[in-house]
Amino acid sequence: MAAVLESLLREEVSVAAAVRWIARSAQSSEAAALRSLRPLRKEFVPFLLNFLREQSSRVLPQGPPTPAKAPGSSAALPGRPGGPSRGGRGARSQLFPPAEPSSAAAAEAPPARRGGRRRGPGPGRERGGRGPGGLEEGVGGESPPWAAGRRRRSSGSPGSPGRARSDPPNLSNLEEFPPVGSLPPGPAGRTKPSRRINPTPVSEERSLSKPKTCFTSPPISCVPSSQPSVPDTSPWGHGLPPGCRSLQEEREMLRKERSKHLQQSPTPACPTSESGSPLPSRTGNLTAEAADPARVSSRQRLELIALIYSSCIAENLVPNLFLELFFILQLLTARRMVAAKDSDLEPTPGAPDSLESPLFQSVHDCVFFAVQVLEHQFQVLSYLDKGTLKLLAENERLLCFSPALQGRLKAAYEGSVAKVSLAMPPSAQAVSFQPETDNRANFSSDRAFHTFKKQRDVFFEVLREWEDRHEEPGWDFEKGLGSRIRAMMGQLSAACSHSHFVRLFQKQLLQMCQSPGGTGGTVLGEAPDVLNMLGADKLGRLRRLQERLVAPQSSGGPCPPPTFPGCQGFFRDFILSASSFQFNQHLMDSLSLKIRELNSLALPQPEPSDEDGESDVDWQGERRQFAVVLLSLRLLAKFLGFVAFLPYRGPEPPPTRELQDSILALRSQVPPALDVRALLQQGLRARRAVLTVPWLVEFLSLADHIVPLLDYYRSIFVVLLHLHRSLVLSKESEGEMCFLNKLLLLAVLGWLFQIPTVPEDLFFLEEGQLDAFEVDTVPSEHGLDGMPVVDQHLLYTCCPYIGELRKLLASWVSGSSGRSGGFVRKITPTTTTTGLGAQPPHTTQGLQAQLAQAFFHNQPPSLRRTVEFVAERIGSNCVKHIKATLVADLVHQAESLLREQLVMQGQDGGDPAQLLEILCSQLCPHGAQALTRGREFCQKKSPGAVRALLPEETPAAVLSSAENIAVGLATEKACAWLSANITALIRREVKAAVSRTLRAQGPEPAARGERRGCSRACEHHAPLPSHLISEIKVHSSPPPCDVLSLAVGPRDPEEGISLDHLEQLLGQLGQTLQCRQFLCPPAEQHLAKCSVDLASLLVADQIPVLGPPAPRGLERGQARRLLHLLLSLWKDGFQVPVPLQLLLSPRNVGLLADTRPREWDLLLFLLRELVEKGLMGRPEIEACLGSLRDAQWPKDFSEELATLFNLFLAEPPMPEPQLRACELVQTNRGTVLAQS
Amino acid sequence: MILTKAQYDEIAQCLVSVPPTRQSLRKLKQTFPSQSQATLLSIFSQEYQKHIKRTHAKHHTSEAIETYYQRYLNGVGRNGTAPVLLELANEVDYAPSLMARIILERFLQEHEETPPSKSVINSMLRDPSQIPDGVLANQVYQCIVNDCCYGPLVDCIKHAIGHEHEVLLRDLLLEKNLSFLDEDQLRAKGYDKTPDFILQVPVAVEGHIIHWIESKASFGDECSHHAYLHDQFWSYWNRFGPGLVIYWYGFIQELDCNRERGILLKACFPTDIVTLCHSIA
């Protein structure tokens, strides 16, 4: 590999030829110098990347050794892990050293580290390893030997003034100087997918050594004095890649070590403490060294390497474009060179073609190189968001090294409209209740319906509690909500209930989480997902750990692992806590269906190059719709991946080959949850990769370790790799994908290749495999790929990690140490949820449909949308219209038929089911009219709607065509539904009417409707019924007016009621009964009863009337007047039955028994009046009186009662009966009659 | 009438162990002349109910029932027309209506072969003339009309007040031209939870979006509000989004803390209503 690089440096081979060689695109014109190196081709890029990372390790903060380790490390120099043998070209190829000696620190250090990739817990900083090259050097106390050597010798380069510093900052203290864009140290960091460029052969010795990242292998200038025990130390040096061991063996070693480590330290300690080095506190500001173009060493060499590096980037030969950009920006913003003390490392200007001397000898070199690369990458840069462009354009180093580039960036900044806003997402709303899907008719039983009612409430209760509490320290999802969730899930017995709940769950998920930041006000931060790495069994403990360690400002770095940020965390934890197989299955079904549906949604059609503003307005709508669909798909696919692979998720890949094989054999026969391969192929064919690939990536990102090894998924990865390679940004031609579309795909694919579960050798596949792949794309102009559907906003929404570039630049400006996050807010996308599914998939058929398609082809897309929208709505309204007219008429007919039937057959009317059948057989044939009426309706309504929605200048012919198509589509839709469903609809409605009618026949007379309402002129000023009941009964104000309680007692001697007040009260009662505005039947019934009680008290002279001198009984005339009032109220006021028979209840009549002397005439008067006014019939009263005699009374009372009875039986009523007890007893019937 | 927690506590403090009679009410009104009477009454009723809930069990032990029944029998044996039952209830600090129920149940147990059903007892309480014993009927009646917190009459009053305020709210909505679906319409459509009114076009009240309105003709204290939140308001939110609760007799100010979350409290019909403008500016 180094040979290739050196041929380049010596200009034996042109850069272009080299890139062609690497990209295998021009086999015929292969440079002679490279031909012999052909087997090395696929190794070149990883070599180059690692080379650059290593070279930069002195510049980037993590390069310098840990001070405490310095002395030791110098002594240990010969045995430095991974130290390749010095000298000789072959030695350079040992940048991926196959073997490493165990170092002093080996015992305590996590050994399993290869290529910077780590899966198990350990103190190492996983993601730094894969991210910014060399960032991790020195972690865990390991320091690069070369650095140590230099330091020891204290002979720094002139360009490193910082070396004289008395108190050097402990740059390897990750707590204080975390790699830019990475997480704070701790287990959190572990979960980051680590970057590895290429499988690095590892020996057992190596595996025991310190963690080592591929980018941090010692540079070639370092001299390892002794080679480790593995004899074949330089497989690649001999030009044969898989020289020593199979990758499989290495993996197994890794696994062993990982599991060993897992056992040893289930709760990993902070890496810095494990390193054993005392950690000096942060030493103030870290001033940046000024970079000077004049002091750049070996320009030519840097230019050349920058060129070939840029070419590799441009050809997508690097796995992750943005990772490289991040690296370049790190170089640009390198603060200072670590003191170079090794004279070996002094610039050697005379040997530019040599790789012996370090590439970056000073900050000047770094900046020069970075600016060179940036110049080549200008196109990509110009598509970044405005903030990043501004920071780049304002970067003084960039200005200093390339004013031209700065000018271009400035222009790009000024021309850019791609501001990624920070607007807050809308607050979470609950899924609304939709009677069509949620009412009783959708459930199998009342019980299921009510259970779901409760579940909906529990679900939101849990969600609210989560919102309130998930950020509280010490709060644990499982502990706080787990049992409630499981109890709720336990009630979902019927499959139907599961599907209801899943629908609710999925809708709520889409509603809350469409944007990656989640919503609901609070965002969990991009907490690294420990759960992705470890099994669910360790869930609770790990989650607590995670909560303790995740710093709120942490962000994922340029390649964060898949996470469930914000509200997504709730849904993930809900699934985990519910741990319900049925739920998961239903959820997968539902997610798959929705994904298919959205993936095939008809999205904007291409528009002929119409450059006026209107089309742009339309495009905004198209883009927004695309964004909504894309984000929904990504979310759904992520959760589908999560649930689908959940049962297979484990902390690590299977430990042995045999085990893995058996798992593979087992898994390969399991059909995929969703046939994503077919969908991917369809998407590519239809040129909809820009829609399909991003969600597929989300799905795959949650796969377990075995998945990429399965044939099915492996073939998907091959396709994706090919796609990645084909997305060359600089290619712009007819039929090519739009630039931002490509950029989005590159970003998501690059991210996917970094996921821990994706095998590290996957990106650098055998070329044969790639060559064998043919993209079967039919160049179709109609594909989404060729349309500018992606904008910066969507790009940043889907790939928030691109924002790390801006953070890095901003941290340079702010002069901070590069701790990420904090001052630059995470991009919170604002995506409206409107419009989703607003465009229905059109159901056009036949020639007419083809004509319509052709018609739309040359019209603005808004026209099509309008017509489809109108057709959809009118069609839907048509069905409702038929329901409200034709069906309603039929129901009325059914009701009258039924009533006839009931009259004929007597009250019970026979079997309801039979009745229904009879009615339906008569009425359903009328349903045929629905189609005619439906056609009429669509014909009538559609044109107006289309006209109203289209711009006025639409040509008449276009307009009338649009109208006709709308009518046709609406009719088609409506008639299709009606012809299929009208009979069932009529049946259902008639059935409901029948049961309604039959119910109305029941014991309760349905007199309710008529009672309400008072005269039109009424102003509803009558006293409120509740007030009146209170007045009559007990409380309310002002006293004394609590008539009944006063009368019934106990009462104070001075308490009483004024006659005026009593009369007023009855007057008010009359008003209230007249104005029925506030009257409800129960209140009226009570009023009626109270009035009867009042009458009884009057009859028995029990009302204490206020008045001078003391409360006394009413005079008889007064009592009669009041009774008259009551009688007329009973007659005309009340509309409920008045319980008049209570007047003759033993209790009320008994009131008379207590009075002395007894006054019977009022009762007799009352009874006669009742008969007179028709309020009670004589027989009724006689029956009451008769039953009174059965009660037990004092003897004299019984006698008087009997007399009264006899008197009443004698007609007619007397106008002014003067009846006293004595008279009743002493006079005979004749006397009384004579008096009357 | 929106009270602060402190104001409310002051009132509630005065109500500890006060019998639910009209005399007590009168006293309360004199103590807090500045508060509306309806509010005081509502608070009084709620506090008394809380008190009864706390002490309910001790009145229902078989010993207690037996003691009460014997005292009742002795009392009416001495004088059937004296307010025996009412005084007994007041003396043992229990609601007269509930005391009447205890005695009635006990009485029926003694005089009938089968233990009385709940509906029979309720019916007799509603209409004491059905009680076979005339003296007991009078006693029971006296208890019921003198109880201002429990009993069929009070239930009816509460129901009527609730209904009246719903009607009032409906009229106000109509007056403001806000189209709505009422509870009956919602039930007919098969909604599983039904607020009093759902607005067909949402409005904003004091800057908060309102989809539904619930009328509560009572004072919103902590206890009842939390029960309502759990059983009703959150359920409405879960289905229809944010909404408005009107506590016509006021509420504790501190309870109005879910505005941002989507539950707004008011003590009257809001004046600051912003409707959706149909014309496009």
Residue of A438, A1147, A1151 to mutate when probing chain B, most B C-beta within 10 A: A1147
CB contact under 8 A, A1083 and B160: yes
* Amino acid at position A1207, single letter: L
Tell me whether B50 touches chain A (CB under 8 Å).
Answer: no
**In whole angstroms, how far apart are CA A390 and each of A408, A414, A809?**
11, 9, 10
CB contact under 8 A, B159 and A1089: no
Would you give the DSSP letter of residue A79? G
Would you give the DSSP letter of residue B112? S
Q: What tens digit of pLDDT does each residue of A344-396 get?
A: 444 444 444 455 667 777 788 888 888 888 888 888 888 888 888 888 888 88
Q: What tens digit of pLDDT does each residue of A225-263 get?
A: 333 333 333 333 333 333 334 445 555 555 555 554 444
Q: Residue A434 — pLDDT band, cuts 50, 70, 90?
A: confident
DSSP-assigned beta bridge partners for residue B265 = B245
Phi, psi of A641 (to 5 degrees): -60, -45
- Mean pLDDT within A806-829: 53
Q: Which residues 132-161 on chain B approach chain A with CB closer than 8 angstroms? A: 134, 137-138, 141-142, 145-148, 152-153, 156-161
**Bigger pLDDT: A182 vs A555:** A555
The least confident of A92-96, A412-416, A510-514, A1142-1146 is A92-96
Cβ partners under 8 Å of residue A599, min gap 6: A633, A679, A683, A691, A692, A695
**In whole angstroms, how far apart are CA A434 and each of A168, A437, A503, A948?**
66, 6, 12, 29
| 3-class secondary structure, A1060 | helix
pLDDT reading at A1221 higher than 60: no
- In whole angstroms, what is the distance from residue A128 CA to residue A135 CA? 6
Assess contact for B174 and B188: CB atoms under 8 A. Answer: no
pLDDT reading at A1069 higher than 70: yes
- Mean pLDDT within A931-943: 91
Rounded CA Rg of chain A:
44
- Mean pLDDT within A570-589: 91
> Parallel, antiparallel, or unpaired for β B208-216 and B197-205?
antiparallel
- In whole angstroms, what is the distance from residue A183 CA to residue A112 CA? 21
Phi, psi of B234 (to 5 degrees): -65, -35
- Mean pLDDT within B226-246: 92
Q: Is the peptide bond before A1109 cis (omega within 30 degrees of 0)?
A: yes
Which residue blocks in A514-561 are alpha helix, DSSP H? 530-533, 539-549
Q: Find the helix packing angle between A956-1000 and A912-923, rounded to 10°.
A: 150
Nearest to A429 among B87, B131, B241 (CB): B241
Closest residue in B to A1052 (Cα–Cα): B23
pLDDT reading at A904 higher than 50: yes
Tell me whether B236 touches chain A (CB under 8 Å).
Answer: no
- In whole angstroms, what is the distance from residue A188 CA to residue A182 CA? 10
Average pLDDT along chain A: 67
CB contact under 8 A, A435 and B129: no
Q: What tens digit of pLDDT does each residue of A458-487 get?
A: 999 999 888 888 888 888 888 889 889 988
pTM of the predicted protein model: 0.65
* Amino acid at position A603, single letter: L
Q: What tens digit of pLDDT does each residue of A994-1006 get?
A: 777 776 665 444 3
Cβ partners under 8 Å of residue A765, min gap 6: A42, A718, A721
Cβ-count burial of A313 within 10 angstroms (0-12 exposed, 13-18 middle, 19+ buried)?
A: buried
Q: What percentage of chain A carries pLDDT values higher than 70?
A: 58
DSSP-assigned beta bridge partners for residue B252 = B3
Tokens of B32: 């807090």
* Amino acid at position A1149, single letter: V
Q: How far is A705 from chain B (nearest CA, A)?
A: 39
pLDDT of residue B170: 93
- In whole angstroms, what is the distance from residue A1163 CA to residue A1217 CA? 10
pLDDT reading at A77 higher than 50: no
* Amino acid at position A711, single letter: D
Assess contact for A1186 and A1145: CB atoms under 8 A. Answer: no
pLDDT of residue A42: 67
pLDDT of residue A282: 37
Residue A1071 is inside which H or E element, if any? Answer: helix A1059-1074
| 3-class secondary structure, A788 | coil
Q: Which residues 411-450 on chain A approach chain B with CB closer than 8 angstroms? A: 427, 429-430, 432-433, 435, 438-441, 449-450
Sign of torsion over alpha carbons A326, A330, A331, A332: positive
**Bigger pLDDT: A1148 vs A597:** A597
**Bigger pLDDT: A885 vs A25:** A885
User: In terms of Cα–Cα distance, which of A1115, A1020, A1011 is closest to A1059?
Assistant: A1115
pLDDT reading at B266 higher than 70: yes
Q: Residue B215 — pLDDT band, cuts 50, 70, 90?
A: very high
Cβ partners under 8 Å of residue A1059, min gap 6: A1105, A1106, A1107, A1114, A1118
Would you give the DSSP letter of residue A1202? H
- Mean pLDDT within A491-511: 81
DSSP-assigned beta bridge partners for residue B205 = B208, B273
- In whole angstroms, what is the distance from residue A366 CA to residue A377 CA? 16
pLDDT reading at B75 higher than 80: yes
Tokens of A185: 């140290």
pLDDT of residue A589: 94
- Mean pLDDT within A405-417: 83
Nearest to A1078 among B148, B164, B189 (CB): B164
pLDDT reading at A452 higher than 50: yes
Would you give the DSSP letter of residue A399? H
pLDDT of residue A626: 85
> Parallel, antiparallel, or unpaired for β B180-182 and B263-266?
unpaired
Cβ-count burial of A1179 within 10 angstroms (0-12 exposed, 13-18 middle, 19+ buried)?
A: exposed
pLDDT of residue B135: 86
Most confident of A166-170, A196-200, A983-987, A1106-1110: A983-987
Q: What is the ipTM of this complex?
A: 0.81
Assess contact for A780 and A687: CB atoms under 8 A. Answer: yes
